[in-house]
Structure 1
């Protein structure tokens, strides 16, 4: 019997939340080691990142590497139509909690960048398989916002997850967008 997406999501969220604080820190460092050498990031200037919550792999070390490399980072903000807007993320960016309790920049302070102008988007995942299928948190925010990537080459979408979030097969839906690759704390999966 096939497990439902909802059951799989619950199981994988528990799996990532079970990681210790030390394991989380170590995973973030290893993720940076793996992604900092990738040409997708080296060749790009406008990169969307996220602030980890609920046990997601933490890209803070990678974010600091990108800032130190002169890259422009952007954070997602949930817009009124449930699409994601992207605001430039600087060390002094004022953050407020969204309806899910996740810090995001205030929309009052700056103008968002169009998602089409991003070059790389680092997407948090709840689960993934080696074929590049992904399971998000279930809100469809990234799927809606980046539906245009079905026919566009940019931005490059790279899913981020702990290696322990890999499963044999993720059930897909017609609205799911494809990743260009998936990076974990132990390797990069090209798609």
Structure 2
């Protein structure tokens, strides 16, 4: 078995790369993210932008709450392993089933109430396949047609963009693109 081609190997490799890059470029990410959102998001569209609460080593985008006039939503995972998004209206957050802060005291949003998903990753390849931690939460959510129709973008350092295809399972759902410290890039479709 080729260990380099396994998701476990790739996760270990990219986790350390990402950690160093995020430390080195954290200010660049905030500025670039704001610039990109102004370009790609219809400012008059009042639907929420789904973001994430950053875990250790992930790019911190939660300050968008204070820097943007856009409504934001955070994901939460329930006891059954289902991920839902909730509008982030106040600073009153509770921990979800995995201990991640979320506005779980709100009503879960329907897909039509969300216009964009910004998602963390350990790596992404040029076709938009994301390497996460292995829980499959985003893949399960985005396997539903209504959620799959929402533009979903990975937030990632340039050093974690794999020029070679990442290991993929049949349930993996590619993302539409990524935002790095260099800006926004669309993923190449599998027909390219």
User: Which bin holds the TM-score, normalised by the shorter protein?
Assistant: 0.7 to 0.9
2:116 paired with 1:120 = yes
Determine the structure 1 residue equivalent to 2:16: 14
**Secondary structure of 2:5's match?**
coil
Change (3 A) 1:142 1:87: same
What is the CA-CA distance between 1:50 and the residue it aligns to? 0.8
State how many pairs are aligned.
183
Write out per-residue CA displacement over residues 56-79 of structure 1, whole angstroms, 9 at most, x where no aligned residue: 12223444343x2xx221100112
Determine the structure 2 residue equivalent to 1:162: 157
Q: State the TM-score, normalized to the length of structure 2.
A: 0.83
- Matches for 1:131-142 after TM superposition, within 5 Å: 131-142=127-138
Change (3 A) 1:57 1:37: same
**Structure 2 spans left out of the alignment, 5+ residues:** 188-192
Determine the structure 2 residue equivalent to 1:58: 60
**Structure 1 spans left out of the alignment, 5+ residues:** none
**Secondary structure of 2:49's match?**
strand
CA contact (8 A) 1:128 1:165 kept: yes
Q: Out of 17, 23, 26, which is 1:24 matched to?
A: 26
**Secondary structure of 1:158's match?**
strand
In 1: Cα distance, 2:151 partner to 2:64 partner:
17
In 2: Cα distance, 1:188 partner to 1:26 partner:
13
In 2: Cα distance, 1:48 partner to 1:124 partner:
11
Change (3 A) 1:20 1:48: closer
Q: Out of 95, 102, 105, which is 1:104 matched to?
A: 102
Q: State the TM-score, normalized to the length of structure 1.
A: 0.83
Change (3 A) 1:41 1:178: farther
What is the CA-CA distance between 1:158 and the residue it aligns to? 1.3
**Secondary structure of 1:37's match?**
helix
The CA RMSD measured in Å over matched residues stands at: 2.3
